[in-house]
Amino acid sequence: MNPALIGSPSQPVTLSDAKLSAKDLSFYYGTFQALYNISLSIAPHKITAFIGPSGCGKSTFLRTMNRMNEILRNTRVEGELTLDGQDLLAMDVTTVRRRVGMVFQKSNPFPKSIFDNVAYGLRVNGMHKRSVVEEAVERSLTHAALWTEVKDKLNKPATALSGGQQQRLCIARALAVEPEVLLLDEPCSALDPIATLKIEELLFEIKSLTTIVIVTHNMQQAARLADYTGFFFMGKLVEFDDTRVMFQNPHKKETEDYITGRFG
C-alpha cells in the first residue's frame, strides 16, 4: 500500500495525458436522466473499473464512450467527451468505434467461422489482403489466449466454442482492429471462475497494447484487476480513485457502504 495515496484524493480526473476524458457528461433515455454530470479521465495503458449496483449508469457510461447508445432511439448526450483531446461526440461514429472497441456482457460471436469472426473488423475497415488478415487473426487470437486452442479449427463455426472461449474470441475480434481503448461490459458475468481467471489474466497482458475500461459487478474482480476504480450510484460518479484507495480507504460513505456490502 502506498501511504502517499491514502487520504490524498489522487484524482485521476485531472490527468493531463488522459486517453479518454469526460466533462459534465449527462445522458438521457427519453426524459429519464441516466447519467448526471460525470467528469473523469481514463489513464492510458491502465485498467479502469466501474463498480456499482445494477441500473446505476455504469454500463450506460461505458456505452457512451463508443457511442453505442446512439443505436437506441430517443437518447441524448450532454457535456464533453474527448479521445486524445479530440471531441469524440463530433467524430465520425464508425471511426470512434474502431478506435474504442467493445466486448459485451454475453459473448456474441457472429454465426461465421472463428477466422471470419476475428477478420470481420479488419474487412469492415477495408483490409482485405489475405496475408495481413491472417497475421492479424493469429496475433489477436494469441493476445486473447485462444490461439493454441483454436489454431487447428479456424474454419469451424465460432458458435461451437465454449462460453469462455467465445468470450475470448470476442476479445480477439475487438483486438484485431487494434483499438486504442477496449471497453468491457461485465465480460465475465456469464462465465465460471476458471474462464473468468483466464480473461483476467489476458486483460492484464494486453494492458500494454490498449487502455482498458471494465464494468463489473464483482468487486473482487475490480480489486484484482484495476488500477483505478470508479463507483457509480444512481447515475452519479460518487467516487473515482486509485483502486487501493477505493477499497481500503474510501472517502465517501456510499462507497464504503457498497464495498462492505451494506447495500447494492
Cβ atoms 23, 39 nearer than 8 A: yes
Minimum distance of another protein from residue 172's CB (angstroms): 12
Figure out which of the listed residues 95, 155, 162, 248 binds another protein, where binding follows CB under 8 A: 95
SS3 166: helix
What spatial distance separates the first Cα and last Cα of the chain, rounded to whole Å?
A: 27
Q: How far is the CB of 71 from another protein (least distance, A)?
A: 7
Q: Binding of another protein at residue 106 (CB under 8 A)? A: yes
Check binding of 173 to another protein (CB under 8 A).
yes
Q: How far is the CB of 171 from another protein (least distance, A)?
A: 12
28 touches another protein by CB under 8 A: no
Point out which span in 14-22, 116-124, 138-146, 189-197 binds another protein (CB under 8 A).
116-124
**Range in contact with another protein (rule: CB under 8 A) among 5-13, 31-39, 90-98, 200-208:** 90-98
Q: For residue 83, state whether it binds another protein (rule: CB under 8 A).
A: no
85: left (phi over 0), alpha (psi -120 to 50) or beta: left
Grid coordinates belonging to 41: 479521465
* Nearest residue (CB) to another protein, 40 versus 183: 183
Q: Are 77 and 89 within 8 A, CB to CB?
A: yes
- H or E element, residue 137: helix 130-143
Query: What part of residues 141-170 is at the interface with another protein (CB under 8 A)?
Result: 157, 159-160, 170
Kindly report the CA angle at 23 between 21 and 29, in degrees rounded to 5? 105
